[in-house]
Amino acid sequence: MTDSRSPVPAPRSPINVLIVDDSASVRMHLRNILESDPDIRIIGAVGDGEEAVRFVENRKPDVITMDIDMPKMNGLEAIRRIMETHPLPIIVVSATFDKNDVERTFIAMDAGAIAVSNKPLGEGHRDSERAARDLVQTVKAMSEVKMVKRWSRARISGMTHIIEPEEPLVQASGKVKLVVIGASTGGPPVIKTILSGLTNGLHVPLLVVQHIAKGFLEGMVEWLNHTTDLPVHIAMHKERLMPGHVYFAPDDYHMGVNNAGRIELSKALPENALRPSVSYLFRSTINAFDGDSVGVLLTGMGKDGAEELRHMKEKGATTIAQDEESSVVFGMPGEAVRLGAATHILPPEKIAAVIRSLTKES
């Protein structure tokens, strides 16, 4: 007689987290939030970057939550040292009401942090539950990311010379009128690299959907305006698109474009559980410009935009997926590659070169 019962699944290993913050009360608050989830275990809580670096040398957490402004060694230096020696998923936990914190957040992402989360405020604040829930979800998602040595990210963020395509490029359906980009986890420093490579080489509008924690988009746009020469904006409804300008979808709005060259913002239902959605932007681009566009899918978890990138390619657009080596997470671009949606599979600096080449006559 055989036993028809299903095998009992092996218990899941807990996600081991190191908390780094100079405030003892914040460390305790974060511990209480994270340990409310049975899958998360706090294995350390330290008060400055030096302690964090020493901790990682002796024990390897699965995820680190990192404050930025700390004594002895700040979070930026700690991130750089950890990523050079013991690369781990690092989440910057920052206060969106502090303008300096937000700007330093993106410098930290350039240094190797892969995600950002709001610093949860105390109980009773109207956003405390949402921020706590988002932090738990971010820690669990980032625990799945497999990190590599910092050298590849240094190559991405440190690109200063101009790279040209290895062969002449021709847009299949004609003149390029628009470039659209979708990105998620690990996207901000990659977008910075691409925009830096487009200085004096972008002659059409460029629209971006970047999945990022609520409240950080304005700081990201300000950071990009300081670190690149292109004018970067948060998109407004019915705004006319301008050549050489970069437009980001605002928090909690889908962004599309119409055939009159104006931005359309929408509160339509989330797609792929996301609003803004890359899929929405890419589909809108097909409807408005047919194949006279370039579509780019960058590092990120999930598959948002991959199917629509394939549709763009079928319409004659040039389509690009970031390569696996330079991606923090090869989810979105990897799905595009699996679907045969990408005309080119490239690192960020070569993505910029292709966009320059295809838009220079536009």
Q: Which residues are annotated as catalytic?
A: 184, 211, 304
Enter the DSSP assignment of 171.
Answer: -
Q: Which residue has the tokens 């002895």?
A: 72
Rounded to the nearest 5°, which phi and psi values hold at 90?
A: -115, 125
Backbone φ, ψ for residue 62 (5° rounding) = -80, -30
How open is the CA angle 16-18-19, to the nearest 5 degrees? 135
Of 303, 276, 144, nearest in space to 210 by CA: 276
Q: Other CB atoms closer than 10 Å to residue 293's CB: what's the count?
A: 27
Closest CA to 88 of 38, 141, 150: 150
Q: Single out the residue of 130, 138, 86, 135 nearest to residue 112, CA to CA.
A: 86
The whole-angstrom separation of Cα 309 and Cα 358 is 17
CA distance 285 to 202: 18
Is residue 49 a contact partner of residue 29, using CB atoms and an 8 Å limit?
no
Are 290 and 173 within 8 A, CB to CB?
yes
Go through 21-30 and write b for each residue having 16 or more CB atoms within 10 A of its CB, e for each that does not: bbeeebbebb
